[in-house]
Amino acid sequence: MASNTLVQVVGIVLRGAINLATGEIQGRIERSAHDEPLPPISEDFDMPPAFAGVIGADGEELPRLPSLDADHELGDTFASTAEREAFPPNLLDVVVGLEHEKRVIRTVVTSQNYRLHVLMVGPPGSAKSLILDLLRQGLPDESRIVVGNQATAPGMKHLLLDPDHPRLLLLEELDKAPKEAQESLLTAMDGKVTSATGAAGGQQEHLDLEVHVIAAANDTKSIIAPLLQRFTVLHLRDYTQAERHEVMLKLLEQRMAFNAAEAKEIADLVAPVGTIRDAEHVGGLWKEDPEVARDHAARLGKR
C-alpha cells in the first residue's frame, strides 16, 4: 500500500516537472495510475539527481521525493524554466537602464494573472516603442501589435474575443486611440462582453480573457480614467544622448547585425540629432546604400 501511495505521489510531482520529466517517465506515470506493472527505466535515461534512489515494491529504482529544502529549490527551478520558455532572458538587453521597468514587464508577461497590464508613459525617444517591438520580435507567436490611431471599437473587440487572440496585446500610442476603441478595450479587460443576441441593447456576459495588455503613450491626458486605472503605469524619462548612443549601438549590432565599426558610425551620426527609431531607419538604408544613409542622417538635425 505504501509503495502504491509513493508511486502516485511521485506521479503528481513528475507531472509538474516541465523539463525534468521525459516521455518515458510520463509513460510510467500513466501506467502506474492503472496499477499496471512498470517496465524498467531505460539505461539511456539519466535520472535527475533530486529524484534518484528510491526502490519500489518490485525492486526497481523509482524517483525519490525531494526533501523540504530540495522541494523549495525545485520549485524555484520550475519557475525559472517556465520563465525562460515564455520570456527569453536577453530579450530586453538592448534597452539601457530601466531595470525596474524591465522587471515589471517581465513579471507581467510571464504571469498567469491576466488582470495584470502595463502602460509605459514617456516622451518620444524613451524606449517605449523599442520595448514593444522587442516583445513582438521575441514572442512572435504570442503577441500582436496595434497602433492606437488605427484602432477601432469593432476591430478591438474582434481581436480580443477571438478564440485565437494573442496572449500579449501590444498597444502603441494608446493616447491616440479613439474613445470608442478605449472603451471596447476596457470592457474586454474587465471580463465582460455585450452579446449580439438577447434583449435590446444586448446583455452582459462574463468571460475570462487570457491576455496581457502592454501599452505605450506619450502622456495620459486623452486616456479615459477607467482604462488608465486598469494599468500598472511606468513613467519613463527621456534618454540622455550618451544613453541613446549606447542603445543604438546595441540595437545595430545585436538586432541588425552590423559590425562594431558600422554601428558606431551610424550611432555617432544619429544620436546627437535623432531618436532610437531614427537609428533603425538609417540602419535599414545603410544596408542598401551607406551614402544615402549618411545623407539622411545629416538631414535629421534640420527637421
Model confidence over 160-185: pLDDT tens digits?
A: 777 777 888 899 999 999 999 998 88
What's the confidence (pLDDT) of residue 44?
47
The residue among 2, 16, 9, 1 whose CA lies nearest residue 64 is 9
What's the confidence (pLDDT) of residue 140?
86
CATH 3.40.630.30 for domain 101-235 = no
Whole-number average pLDDT of the chain: 74
Domain ranges of the chain: 2-84, 101-235, 241-300
What's the confidence (pLDDT) of residue 205?
55
What's the confidence (pLDDT) of residue 161?
73
* Whether the predicted pLDDT of 20 surpasses 70: no
> 251-275 burial string, b = 16+ CB within 10 Å, else e?
bbbebbebeeebbbbbbebbbeebb
What's the confidence (pLDDT) of residue 189?
79
Could you tell me the pLDDT band of residue 73, with boundaries at 50, 70 and 90? very low
What's the confidence (pLDDT) of residue 206?
56
Q: Give me the percent of the chain exceeding a pLDDT of 90.
A: 36
* Whether the predicted pLDDT of 7 surpasses 60: no
When mean pLDDT is compared over 24-33, 45-54, 294-303, the highest value belongs to 294-303
Model confidence over 223-275: pLDDT tens digits?
A: 999 999 999 999 998 889 999 999 999 999 998 999 999 999 999 999 999 99
Could you tell me the pLDDT band of residue 204, with boundaries at 50, 70 and 90? low
Point out the least confidently predicted range of 32-46, 103-117, 284-298: 32-46
* Whether the predicted pLDDT of 16 surpasses 80: no
What's the confidence (pLDDT) of residue 186?
87
Q: How far is CA 54 from CA 10, 61, 78, in A?
A: 11, 5, 22
Cα separation, 265 vs 140, whole angstroms: 31
- The interaxial angle of helices 276-288 and 128-138, nearest 10 deg, is 60
Number of C-beta neighbours around residue 141 at 10 A? 7
Cα separation, 2 vs 267, whole angstroms: 68
What's the confidence (pLDDT) of residue 6?
46
